[in-house]
Homo-oligomer: A and B are copies of this chain.
């Protein structure tokens, strides 16, 4: 199967998962009491929505970056990719749980653990997909420096998320803050410190060589 088709389907799942994050804000729950206070008290939901949106958005960018280096997609890769999408599409659930329980003394820890286990597993799958693909499916003309650069930059992902998850046992507020910090760090580093030649011209994209 061609990489383009797998990417198109993956794009669909990414786009839908990210949009379904609105469920984390409790769009399906009737607001009650004083609306102004209700909307202000929802602030953990807004933060959880933004952090998860940013996280999945960056994963989408990286997903394309990986597949750009693959010459083709084989069957184990198809399965790995379906498993990865299974976790991406799951993200709205832990996001909602965190949104609802971030202010609860009793349940905050369990919410942070659910979120952390989901994110750590996602990061592990993401890295496995890259390790498998970079050893078996690489394009002949893939730049070795780009390949090892990607490996280096994805290496700390899973340990970072695992650390934030374990942090919940010590301090669940610190754990949640660390999840937000990871998302912001990746977003800013992707936006500001990326290689300047990573951009591709529109003519190349449209297949029009003129």
Using a CB–CB cutoff of 8 Å, the interface residues on chain A facing chain B are 1-5, 8-9, 11-23, 25, 27-31, 34-36, 39, 49-50, 53-54, 57-58, 60-61, 64, 70-76, 78-79, 82, 85-86, 89-90, 92-93, 96-97, 100-101, 104, 106-107, 110-111, 114, 139, 187-188, 190-192, 194, 196, 198-208
Contact of A207 among B49, B114, B208 (CB under 8 A): B208
Bound Cα distance A176, B90 (Å): 22
Contact B192 A25 (CB under 8 A): no
With A15-B9, A22-B92: A75-B35 Cβ-Cβ less than 8 Å: no
Contact A19 B101 (CB under 8 A): no
Q: How many copies does the complex hold?
A: 4
Contact of A72 among B1, B110, B202 (CB under 8 A): B202
| B contact residues around A28 at 8 Å (CB) | 23, 28
